[in-house]
Chains A and B, each alone.
Chain A
């Protein structure tokens, strides 16, 4: 009798544990002192015919949004340098379980809206950390978040910093609901600090990584227009279109990092 009840108890406990576990699929990251840490570096390059970055006409508040009279604003969805390096690619360790404490650069946790452009274009915020936002423009901006957070925040007052906690990890798309349909940016809310963003040459570096075998993932935002919304701006009587972008893409590479050593990883991005 006891054995039967014990089995039932164990089974139900396991069932509950599995249920709880399925709600949190990743094991929590452990921050601890890194012994014999190494560095993973690499480059993200584009293969094939270089795609020109998409752009859109600046249809509103040209005095603030277009001070240099360029008429069009690049959407920054795919930024390829003259040497074929792809900027704004997020490179991270997919399967890291322990390592250094959170040390993501504060500049990537802070967003400014300047001349109707989100700066920086890619942001990294630690889970449960604060995402800070402000506008340096005198025109109204309205950040509408879609994805792991759904805040919808107005910025009618220049330089006032608004902050919100990011409690869910994942990707957040930013768009402006105040008529500036070209503005776009991506926020990644992350659970560990081994994230890097490629520079203009496509180079990245992940420092102070514990030795071991890792899967390094390159994440890039979608650079194609999936569809467009067409509306008439009642103020200017012009047709304006807001682009909706394709899904982000990822690429994986395996790497082995020796103690106190270095490892190099290369990624090749293309349209295929």
Chain B
């Protein structure tokens, strides 16, 4: 090999090595949602303005406001644990960037986490990139492939009754969520999140929305993914065929103020 070729080879190796080194660090500093790319550096300023009050400087949920969050609400998320409620991924997996983006946008119903639609989509993408930096899980792990939600079967009185059987007897949902779905079951008071803070189960009779969205699909997804970091587990091992929709139809029947289908499925930007 001539001296010139050796020069070129050495430069090539140097450049490749630097790229490898940089990419490992960069992967967790960015977010990718559809065609958008978020940058953690930009997200940092936004976090310091909008999120730090509850989620804290270290992203551990110990912001100034955290002690004052209504005791009925769960405490602000501790991002350092890498556990997130609203995901498309199986229980135990980290969320995708899109999952985090949806949560920031939509907020979490029945908690103190508001909807952040007033921030632009780019702002929200930048925030996602910054929040990922709080947990090493985003550097060390990949999000698993998303859960598959089967097509919804039609609702009917029979479906609602089958759902009732699943809720009350087979899957024992009533243990935590109570006989009428009010979140007052026999285990409810002992429920804690992973940090030991009280985490009461969802009250299905209150309103028409769920923690991670408002459509039937959003509710079905929670049965498959579980709400990691809370006592709500995944039931993916137990639900077969249309059972997941029977359960959704039964839970809708508990909602006194369930809105019309079109209003429920009205998406968000």
Contacts and interface: CB of A to CB of B under 8 A. Distances in A.
Contacts of A181: 190
B238 to A, nearest CB: 7
Contact of B13 (A13, A144, A233, A236): A13
Interface residues of B, number: 44
Interface stretch (A40-48, A146-154, A189-197): A146-154
Contacts of A240: 189-190
A2 B3 CA distance: 8
Interface stretch (A50-58, A96-104, A155-163): A155-163
Q: How large is the interface on A (under 10, 10 to 19, 20 to 34, 35 or more residues)?
A: 35 or more
Contacts of B228: 150, 152
B179 to A, nearest CB: 11
A153 to B, nearest CB: 5
Given A19-B21, A142-B231, A157-B238, A60 B186 contact: yes
Interface stretch (B41-49, B157-165, B170-178): B170-178
B187 to A, nearest CB: 4
Contact of B198 (A146, A160, A179, A231): A231
B238 A5 contact: no
B70 to A, nearest CB: 18
A20 B20 CA distance: 10
A9 B9 CA distance: 10
Contacts of B172: 140, 154, 156
B108 interface: no
B189 A142 contact: no
Given A150-B228, A152-B91, A5 B14 contact: yes
Nearest to B171: A156
Contacts of A229: 192, 196
Nearest to B226: A152
Interface in B221-238: 226, 228-235, 237-238
A153 B233 contact: yes
Nearest to A178: B187
B83 interface: yes
B36 interface: no
Contact of A242 (B192, B194, B229): B192
Given A12-B17, A233-B190, A2 B10 contact: yes
15 contacts: A8-B14, A19-B21, A144-B231, A149-B92, A152-B91, A156-B238, A157-B238, A160-B237, A177-B233, A178-B187, A179-B186, A234-B185, A234-B188, A235-B185, A236-B186
Interface of A: 1-2, 5-6, 8-9, 12-13, 15-16, 19-20, 23, 60, 140, 142, 144, 146, 149-154, 156-157, 160, 162, 164, 177-179, 181, 229, 231-236, 240, 242, 244
Given A157-B238, A232-B189, 8 more contacts: A2-B6, A9-B14, A16-B20, A16-B21, A19-B21, A177-B192, A231-B198, A240-B189
Interface of B: 3, 6-7, 10-11, 13-14, 17-18, 20-21, 24, 83, 91-92, 140, 170-172, 175-176, 184-192, 194, 196, 198, 226, 228-235, 237-238
9 A-B pairs with the lowest CB-CB distances in the bound complex, closest first? A235-B186, A12-B17, A179-B187, A9-B14, A140-B172, A177-B231, A9-B13, A156-B172, A5-B10
